[in-house]
Structures are given as structure tokens and as C-alpha cells.
Structure 1
Amino acid sequence: MAEIDPDAKRRPASVKELKAMSHPLRVRIIRLCGDHELTNKQLADRLGVDPGTVYYHVRQLVDAGFLEPAEVRTGESGALEKPYRSTGRSWWLSVQLEDLDTSQGFAPVEAFQQELAEAGPASIASYARFALHLSPEDVAELDRRIVAVIDEYVETDTERAHLPAHGGIFLLHRTPD
């Protein structure tokens, strides 16, 4: 299999895009709308938050290009529903960590923690915990290789849409010692 350069498909995130992804609730909304077209009410029910709060966050995600309106549909009660779907655009952004403040950098981690807590320990399919001694070049190479593998799966995910969805996060950090 040919090696893929993940940076070839990515572009730097704009300030507006960074801000839109700086809240854990917005990160979760993007992911949920990637699985299904959902309304503000459905998102609020799923996330356990007020519909007005969801509406505010959805508007920011639409404005940043991460969500788009899907076709209006008739709900179970006969009322018209306005669902949203993910554009998939957030995956192909390159985020420079030095451009983030502390709260922005932790939003994806907080969203992942919330999703994992909701799914429960039995949902874990694989786990690897490690400590490595790496140069800055080693860190860049490890990141490039892992992201390339993940990108291969992302690009072909529609072929497996009938299978159970799995979430994950790859995070490499310096230890405090």
C-alpha cells in the first residue's frame, strides 16, 4: 500500500474554525451529525442540554462550515423538522497547537471523555498506553504515520457505514517530569 502524506490533504484551520472547535459541545455535535442528520431538539435530547444552547452552538458550526442544513423532513408528530449534517470539513484541517489557548486545546479531549463516559467501559475496543522518548522529529514522524493510517480509514468510511461506529482519539503529550 502506498504511503499517504496526510498534510497533502489538509489545510490550516482559520481563526473562525479554531473558535468553532474550541468547545467540547461543538466537537460532540460535529461527530453526532456525522453519524446521522439530527435536529436541534434531537441533539439537545442526546446531549442532555437545553435546546437553546444547542441552537447557539449549531449556528456557530454552520457559520464555520462544519454543519449544513439537510432536507427539511416531517417528524413523527407531523411537524416539519430541520436537521443538520456534518460537512466532514473539520477532519481535514491542520491545527497548529501553538495557535490554541489552553481551553481550545482541551475541547476535543473533553468531548472524547464525555463520549467515552456515556458509552461506558465495555465500549472500549482497543487500548494502548505508552511512554516514549522522542525528538521533535520523531514526534512529527509518529504523528504523520498514525494520521496517515487514520486518514485511509476516514476516506473509505462510507464503504463501512453499515457497521458499528467507533470513536477514538490520538493524543501525544509531553510528560510533566
Structure 2
Amino acid sequence: MKHKDTSEHDALHDMLVINEQQKKLLQSALRITIMHALGHEPRTAKQVADQLHKTPGNVHYHIQRLYEGGLLELADTRTQGGIVEKYYKAKGTRFHYPGSKEDGMQEAESVMDWFSRLHLSAEELKEFRKDLITLLERWEKRTGESDEYAVSIRVARISSEQYE
């Protein structure tokens, strides 16, 4: 009898299932970073901008797109000195896009399709790749009579034109 690993169950439970439109909204390292900044406690766009060392207008724009796309919730509204402050909270910081399954893959519940966008220097990219290879090799060396899973990882630099 197979037992579902509770840590895997918790990891999948903690993931926010997103649709195609939301996936497109998250195709920005800055937006992923904003989601993490709003992941644990509600904050204003100004507070997030200060934390990330970005301009408030730029962060506010991205927060509005994420909110309109259903990835953020309005947690609180406060008035300070005649100014309305809106506090947003992320609905999740890890995302699962079910999409379509590939040939040979089982039902959608067993497909784990994670994605993210990262800001990496050339040196950080080398370290990231090394970490991924080490992780995969550790698991590839294992043998046993267990279920087989396909693993596909793509790391690609995004051209600056895609941000405009």
C-alpha cells in the first residue's frame, strides 16, 4: 500500500493553483518578489517599495495588476492624515499551473508544475545551476521499485524587451 507523504501533501496544499491569465501575470521576477514581500503580512505598496528599493509608483502598478488578477487580496484599509492606505496580502507565494498534461503522465493531481522568475547575477546563475544538478544527481542515483516521475527544468535568461 502506498502512503502519501504528508510533507508533499502540505507542499501541494500550500500552493496556489493559478490559471493561464495569472501565470502570465507572474512572468516577472519583480512580481514574484512582490508576492513574497506580501506573503506573510499585509503591506502597502509604499512599504513594499521601500523594502525592495523600488519606486512606489512602479510597485503600485504591479500590485494593482496582481490584485486585479486575483493573486492579492485587500487585507485592510486605513486612513492616515487624510491619505487612504491599502494593505495587500498575497494569496500564495508558491504557484501551480495545471495546464495540459504531457504524454505518459498521470492525472492532473500527480503533476507538479512549479515555475518562478529570479533575478540572478552571472555568479548566482552558476551557483543555482550547480545546486540543481547536485539535487537531480542525488535523486537519479536512487533505485527501487517505486513510481516513475518525469522531471523537466528549464532555466532561461529573459530578454529585456519582454519587460516593456
Could you state the TM-score of these two structures normalised by the residue count of structure 2? Answer: 0.55
Q: Which residue of 2 aligns with 1:81?
A: 85
The Cα shift of 1:93 comes to: 2.0
Q: Amino acid of the residue matched to residue 118 of structure 2?
A: V
Structure of larger gyration radius: 2
Q: Which residue of 1 aligns with 2:69?
A: 64
| Higher relative strand content | 2
Unaligned ranges ≥5, structure 2: 102-113, 125-130, 142-147, 156-164
Return closer, same or farther for 1:80/1:8 CA change in 2, 3 Å cut-off. closer
Classify the secondary structure of the residue corresponding to 1:19.
Answer: helix
Unaligned ranges ≥5, structure 1: 99-104, 118-126, 141-171
The Cα shift of 1:53 comes to: 0.9
The structure showing larger relative contact order (alpha-carbon pairs under 8 Å, at least 6 residues apart) is: 1
Q: Which residue of 1 aligns with 2:107?
A: none
2:94 is the counterpart of 1:91 = yes
Return closer, same or farther for 1:47/1:95 CA change in 2, 3 Å cut-off. farther
Deviations 1:101-153 (A, max 9, x none): xxxx985332xx59xx9xxxxxxxxx897151849x4554xxxxxxxxxxxxx
| Higher relative helix content | 1
The Cα shift of 1:23 comes to: 0.4
Do the aligned residues in 2 keep the contact of 1:12 with 1:96 (CA within 8 Å)?
no
RMSD: 4.1
Classify the secondary structure of the residue corresponding to 1:34.
Answer: coil
Classify the secondary structure of the residue corresponding to 2:58.
Answer: helix
1:1-177 matches, within 5 Å, as: 3-4=5-6, 6=9, 9=13, 13-75=18-80, 79-88=83-92, 91=94, 93-94=96-97, 107-110=116-119, 113=120, 130=134, 132=137, 134=140, 137-140=148-151, 173=153
Do the aligned residues in 2 keep the contact of 1:44 with 1:50 (CA within 8 Å)?
yes
Mapped to 2, the partners of 1:8 and 1:44 lie a distance apart of 30
Q: How many residues align?
A: 122
